[in-house]
Structure 1
Amino acid sequence: MSEALSSSVNGQPQQLNEQEASELAEELKQQLRRGYLPPNDATAIEKMVAGLGDPRGLMRLTFAESLGAVGKAAVPSLCRALSSHESVTVRRAAAKTLTLIEDPRALPVLLESLRGDPDPVVQGSAVGAMAAVGAEAIPLLLEVLIHPESTAMQLGLASWALAFVGARAPEALRDAAASQHPEIRCAAIAALGDQIQSLADNAAKDLVLGALSDIDADVRAEAATLLGKLHDPDWAAPQLEPLLHDSVEQVRKNAALSLMKLRAIASIPALHKRLQQENHTDVQSVLALAISQLNSQDA
């Protein structure tokens, strides 16, 4: 018999051995198939949470689906498991199950798991659950972006979630693009591409154009990169050409690469002009590559 799976109700441990977990999972599976909701009393919920630690993946899936069907009543127990359970398997499954429920009450615990859980899978699942909540998660995601101790992975996860949420909450993303914090402006600009392409959002376009002259070079560089992804050379190329003369190397490189991606053949003279003036070898290489690629397309 395998080690018992445990959780608690009011501090009292709830345990399931392998046989008990199998029997409970089968019972829950039958209820779901018949269209019945699983029981939502505290003891039943804690047993299902305990089942999230089962070593068998299909068992964990049954318990997660059952807790998802229970919905908001399961959130407190799932949050306790996510924040303090010693089993990383339970913490991972709790975060993934909270994704199914999309309850804003879980956001503070999800944020702490993103910031503090030592397991990268828990961090990723926590940010996925935050993104599933929607617009209410944006202020917390922005906190991660400006927190001085956020890791590169946490910054990347928060930026991904911001882009995901932004597609559902475009107003909040546009507000973020006007933030006083350059880290937030940068992430918001990177996330605006979907809105511009799928929603034809002119307000988002205006924000990107404004970002091209942002005081922060990282924001300008991000805006230049975004323009290269929009497949609209007639609009984007005239905005990018002035950035070939930006004071910061990375901005000049990003502008040249975006003109190349856009197949902006009409910008070849502007690229040649910049290449004649350019003193930095790495930028020269990018400019030469862009010119070569565009010339081959024009042939």
Structure 2
Amino acid sequence: MVTETQPPAPSETDRLLADVNSQLAEGNFNITNAQQLKQMVESLADSRGMVRLGFVEAFGKIGKPASPFLLEALANHPNPVVRRSCGKALAKIRDPQAVPTLINALLNDEDTVVKSSSAGALARMGEAAVPKLIEVLESADYPQTAKGHASWALAFIGSDAAEHLYQAIHSESEDVRMAVVGAIANLVHEPGNDQAQEIILLALKDESVNVRAEAATSVSQLDPQLGVPHLIPLLEDPSQEVRRRAILSLGKLKDEAALPALTAKLSDEREEIRQLVKVAIAQIQKD
């Protein structure tokens, strides 16, 4: 990155923001004025949050013509405050061409807030970002923090990512399958989306403990008549975490059909399991 420069004086920044907003309101903003667009990017270093937000909103109104300037700054500007705001502005513009640079920032920027704002922008990109987000999850080279951001972005994208997710459930990567199950849980209530339900139920038998645990949590989003019969066998899963998640989901589903199986677990040898079972039974009997 280049050497950090001093941000414009507050009075200069205020004047620029007023001019930009006036031009946008009057419909005569010149998208070919590279100097003004660069000045707007530099003004994202302002110490006042509302001023930075004003420029972010303005970039959103300008749209894709601003993308090259924001992408250059996101990749190379020395000031993390500027890079953070660039990510937020790109989230408003939703230019698919931004995906590679946003992925690079998510993976490699030294500032955690820049990583988060890049993840937020990727989430707003919709389907265009899905293949790259899945690649992040598939790679063994990236940290769990980056994978967590990618998983969140996929879940946020939701139905626009559905077809990619349905294919990715067969990935050899445990991280991908976990993310798919978590994201698909948001789709189960959409009319006619039986495939989402089928994938969650299939994941209950996954060889990975972590995938089964994620699926056990996601089953709480299903209809109780469908979910409870598939959760009860998990009360005997070899993994305590899977058993714990199954108990929690049974409590959330509030179906009395689960009571006999839960009652039998009141004599479990593990104190945590017994306490969770008591809570789940209380949830079911509450109504």
Q: TM-score, normalization: structure 2?
A: 0.89
Q: In 2 relative to 1, CA 52–271 (structure 1 residues): closer, same or farther, beyond 3 Å? A: same
Choose the corresponding residue for 2:272, options 282, 288, 297: 282
Deviation track 1:154-182 (CA, whole Å, cap 9, x = no partner) reads 33322110101123232122222232211
Deviation track 1:49-71 (CA, whole Å, cap 9, x = no partner) reads 11212223343233323333332
* Local SS of the residue matching 2:175: helix
In structure 2, the residue matched to 1:34 is 26
Alignment partners' CA distance in 1, 2:193 and 2:233:
24
2:45 pairs with 1:53? yes
Alignment partners' CA distance in 2, 1:154 and 1:86:
21
- Mean Cα deviation higher: 142-151 or 104-113: 142-151
In structure 2, the residue matched to 1:23 is 15
Alignment partners' CA distance in 2, 1:66 and 1:246:
54
Choose the corresponding residue for 1:165, options 157, 161, 173: 157
Deviation track 1:180-236 (CA, whole Å, cap 9, x = no partner) reads 211111111011122111344101111111111111111111111111233x21111
Q: TM-score, normalization: structure 1?
A: 0.86
| One-letter code aligned to 2:243 | R
Choose the corresponding residue for 2:121, options 116, 119, 129: 129
Aligned length: 283
- Mean Cα deviation higher: 87-96 or 190-199: 190-199
Question: Counterparts of 1:1-299 in structure 2 under 5 Å?
Answer: 4-5=6-7, 16-148=8-140, 150-230=142-222, 232-276=223-267, 278-294=268-284, 296-297=285-286
Conserved 8 A contact 1:28-1:62: no
* Local SS of the residue matching 1:68: helix
Q: In 2 relative to 1, CA 272–61 (structure 1 residues): closer, same or farther, beyond 3 Å? A: closer
In structure 2, the residue matched to 1:9 is none
Alignment partners' CA distance in 1, 2:32 and 2:85:
18
Deviation track 1:42-93 (CA, whole Å, cap 9, x = no partner) reads 2222122112122233432333233333322222221111111111111111
- Mean Cα deviation higher: 251-260 or 34-43: 34-43
Conserved 8 A contact 1:144-1:155: yes
Deviation track 1:131-176 (CA, whole Å, cap 9, x = no partner) reads 1111121122223324445444433322110101123232122222
Q: Which runs of 4+ in 1 moved over 6 A?
A: none
| One-letter code aligned to 1:203 | Q
Deviation track 1:106-149 (CA, whole Å, cap 9, x = no partner) reads 11111121112222221111011111111121122223324445
| Alpha-carbon distance, 1:291 to partner | 3.3
5+ long unaligned stretches in structure 2? none
Alpha carbon RMSD of aligned pairs, Å? Answer: 2.2
- Mean Cα deviation higher: 85-94 or 165-174: 165-174
Percent of residue pairs bearing the same amino acid type? 38
Alignment partners' CA distance in 2, 1:226 and 1:67:
38
